[in-house]
Structure 1
Amino acid sequence: MNGIQFENVSKYYKEGDNTFIALNDVSISVNPGEFVAVIGPSGSGKSTFLSIAGALLQPSEGNVTINGVHLSDLKQKDLSKLRLEQIGFILQTSNLVPYLTVLDQLLVVKKMKGSITNEDKLFAKELLEEVGLGDKLKKFPDQLSGGERQRTAVARAFMNDPNIILADEPTASLDTQRAFEIVELISKGVKSRNKAAIMVTHDERLLKYCDKVYQMNDGNLKLLEEPVAVR
């Protein structure tokens, strides 16, 4: 099955005689073309959930499957390969490389896999056009606004044509208007390129762009509603 699935996933930590439960028996399935939001207070387990989804953290119990592959079956080298090829990350800050142009921010992702082809350059330009940066290809991060830097990060997340997009508070550093623009861009990319996407956010105004909304509380995940996503 394509997309990402959690099956009875728990994560807990031992502290002396005490056990701290970060995730408690979480099950969720996100299919290609689906944009899901996870909301909840700080310390509720959202970051642990996203780290496990991104193959950065191993669960204590349960199974995580990406495109039919059980992550528990993979060695560290294979997990690194999977993160590079199948998961696109969008973080709170754009995390751009200061000395690379906007175009090269995307091409460096391809460079990590090997050589860069002409097709790669065309695809990078296409992605940047889609996020409204077609005229900024040769600009450096310090020449961009905060919204433009985050648009670059959105385009970069799609560069390896991954199956999964994970966004961790992608609008935290933006004003309201820029926040809406960024999440709308993510939503359009998810739909047009048929990706399975999960966004962790505190901003409930952004939920109208999502297909499903889950609440995380004390490590427990619950489906709240299924809003009509903006197309």
Structure 2
Amino acid sequence: MSGITLTNVTKVYQEGEFSTTALENFSLNVANGEFIAIIGPSGSGKSTFLSIAGALLKATEGQVLIDDIDIATLSEKELSKVRLSKIGFILQTSNLLPYLSVLDQLLIVKKMGGSIKPADREFAKELLTEIGLGEKLHKYPHQLSGGERQRTAIARSFMNNPSIILADEPTANLDTKRAHEVVSLIAKEVKARNKAAVMVTHDERMLSYCDRVYRIEDGILTEEA
């Protein structure tokens, strides 16, 4: 089974004699082509979930499979490779590099993994054209609107053809119209490219784009009816 599966994941933060349980027996499976949302208040465990799903943080207990690979068994070097090749991140802010053009924002992802081939350049152009930025390839971040910057970040997250897309509050800095554009675009690309995607959000207006919705409170996950 491809995609991502978390089984009975618990994460406990220990500070001296005090411990805080951020996630408790957290189980979730997201298959290829599925777009799910996780909602919940601040401090509910959403960020911890994203860090564990993104191979940035190890669970205290439980299992995390990414494309059937148990990431707990991987070395730091192997985890770094998984993050680069199997996971696409979309953050609250677009995190674009100010000195790179829109096209180069995508190509730098390939450069991090080795070298840029002509096929990579074509794929980047295809992604950007698909999301409506075909005319903006050589523009810089300061020449783009907030929505265009976030769309660039979406295209960048697909650049390495990852298995999983993790979106952290992708509409946080956008007005309603732009927010709908961005989330509908993520949903469309997830379906078209058969990725497993999870969006963590406070924005309940965006949930209609998702196949399933989960709520997390005090580290406990429940599926919304």
Check whether TM > 0.5.
yes
1:64 has 2:79 as partner: no
Percent sequence identity over aligned pairs: 65
**Which residue type is aligned with residue 108 of structure 2?**
V
Q: Which residue of 1 aligns with 2:34?
A: 34
Which structure 1 residue ranges, 5 or more long, are not aligned? 226-231
Provide the rounded CA distance (Å) in 2 between the counterparts of 1:74 and 1:205. 38
Q: Which residue of 1 aligns with 2:196?
A: 196
Provide the rounded CA distance (Å) in 2 between the counterparts of 1:76 and 1:117. 27
Q: TM-score, normalised by structure 1?
A: 0.96
Partner secondary structure for residue 199 of structure 2? strand
Provide the rounded CA distance (Å) in 2 between the counterparts of 1:116 and 1:18. 48
Q: Which residue of 2 aligns with 1:100?
A: 100
**Which residue type is aligned with residue 62 of structure 2?**
G
Q: Which residue of 2 aligns with 1:149?
A: 149
Query: Structure 1, residues 3-33: CA drift from partner, whole Å, max 9, x if none?
Result: 0000100000123333210000000000000
Provide the rounded CA distance (Å) in 2 between the counterparts of 1:189 and 1:153. 13
Partner secondary structure for residue 134 of structure 2? coil
How do 1:9-20 residues align onto structure 2 when only pairs under 5 Å count?
A: 9-20=9-20
Query: Structure 1, residues 124-150: CA drift from partner, whole Å, max 9, x if none?
Result: 000001110000000000000100000
Q: TM-score, normalised by structure 2?
A: 0.99
Provide the rounded CA distance (Å) in 1 between the counterparts of 2:11 and 2:115. 38
Partner secondary structure for residue 88 of structure 1? strand
Q: Which residue of 1 aligns with 2:116?
A: 116
Provide the rounded CA distance (Å) in 2 between the counterparts of 1:200 and 1:162. 18
Moved over 6 A (4+): none
Provide the rounded CA distance (Å) in 1 between the counterparts of 2:168 and 2:29. 18
Partner secondary structure for residue 224 of structure 2? strand
**Which residue type is aligned with residue 123 of structure 1?**
F
Q: CA RMSD in A?
A: 0.6
Offset at residue 115 of structure 1 (A): 1.2
**Which residue type is aligned with residue 36 of structure 1?**
I
Aligned length: 225
